[in-house]
Amino acid sequence: MRGVVFDGTQAQVVDDLEIREPGAGEVLVAVAAAGLCHSDLSVIDGTIPFPVPVVLGHEGAGVVEAVGAGVSHVAPGDHVSLSTLANCGTCADCDRGRPTMCRKAIGRPGRPFSRGGEPLFQFACNSAFAERTIVKAVQAVKIPADLPLTSAALIGCGVLTGVGAVLNRAKVDRGDTVVVIGAGGIGLNVLQGARLAGASTIVAVDSNPAKEETARRFGATHFLGSADGDDGGVRRILPTGADHVFECVGHVGLIRQAIELLDRHGQAILLGMAGATAEASFVPAGMFLDKSILGCRYGSARPQRDIAIYAELYRQGRLLLDELVTETYPIEDFAKAADDAHHGRVARGVLTF
């Protein structure tokens, strides 16, 4: 079968992948569509260290082909959105409704794939850049069959992370003010999360002016090319600062800027993936007005609950998914899709099988 394999030097499309049968508590999914997220590119450029060879992809949707023993919530033929969160369901964090903190869901890659007899690692417990993948039962979330799979694919990472960061982690309230630094795939979902939460002022900041129209469609009330430009930047719009600033780029300078843009009692939420050893600095004295810096893993999501909610919001016309899909590519065009994503030409490119 076809898939995208990174061997530590290059990522290439291959057609000789093999995958084992699903075991107990596992689901075999025929992947129909998979979004290309910057996390996949970060594996290729080394920002995210990961063992190789690995089958890439972690944002997908498809149709269940087979289930292992003990799986009852999905069946062959069901449409599913795939989560990357392979949490155990039984530890203290899972029991408290914090599956993103489950230690068994972090950093334990399996190897369900093989190629020429050599086992290959699975990225993010998911590997959606393959015609078929195996996930834990908890990762397969049933969705209505009328959701386009090219759009549903994006729920499992970009939407869960961006919208979830707003609703679950930051808990943005009606009338709050929000600044979003970076209007890429995650940033757009933060923007629409802020819109859904009822924020009064939503400022999108991105150096690419071509992103303004899309940012406003997703919820931005203002768009700036930089946070501190010649026109006064964010402080012209929000003189005392913002209640919430989301950094969606992963640049240490922008992290400092996010902190400096906070109003009293404000919070900076870090979503962008900086390098594994990167360090950010800020002035501690500015924090003594009850300001906070929050990390956020995967939108603090509970995927079996949240994906169903987002699917219903999409059906009501309140959550934008189709509009996230800038372009679709056959899996054979992975290199073009990666280049478009790297240069910011797309909000989200989606690979199809």
Question: pLDDT tens for residues 59-89?
Answer: 999 999 999 999 999 999 999 999 999 999 9
Beta strands in the chain (DSSP E): 3-6, 11-14, 18-19, 26-36, 54-55, 60-67, 79-82, 113-115, 118-122, 132-136, 140-142, 177-181, 201-205, 222-224, 242-247, 262-270, 292-295, 325-330, 348-352
Buried-state track 314-335, b at ≥16 Cβ within 10 A, e below 16: beeeebbbeebbebebebebbe
3-class DSSP state for residue 271? coil
For 62, 127, 161, 254, 279, the CA distances from 299, given in Å and listed in that order, are 22, 20, 4, 20, 22
The pLDDT, as a whole number, for residue 47 is: 86
The pLDDT, as a whole number, for residue 104 is: 86
The pLDDT, as a whole number, for residue 235 is: 96
- Count of other CB atoms within 10 angstroms of residue 47: 16
Residues in a beta bridge with 231: none
Amino acid identity of residue 95, one-letter, is D
The pLDDT, as a whole number, for residue 273 is: 85
d(CA 259, CA 303): 29
Cβ atoms of residues 84 and 107 within 8 Å? no
Give the end-to-end CA distance of the chain in Å, rounded to a whole number.
10
Taking alpha carbons only, the member of 208, 94, 74 closest to residue 135 is 74
Q: Which residues of the chain have pLDDT under 50?
A: none
Q: What DSSP designation does 91 have?
A: S
Q: Is the dihedral of CA 227, 295, 94, 63 positive or negative?
A: positive
The pLDDT, as a whole number, for residue 48 is: 87
d(CA 128, CA 30): 9
d(CA 145, CA 81): 11
The pLDDT, as a whole number, for residue 107 is: 62
- Count of other CB atoms within 10 angstroms of residue 272: 20
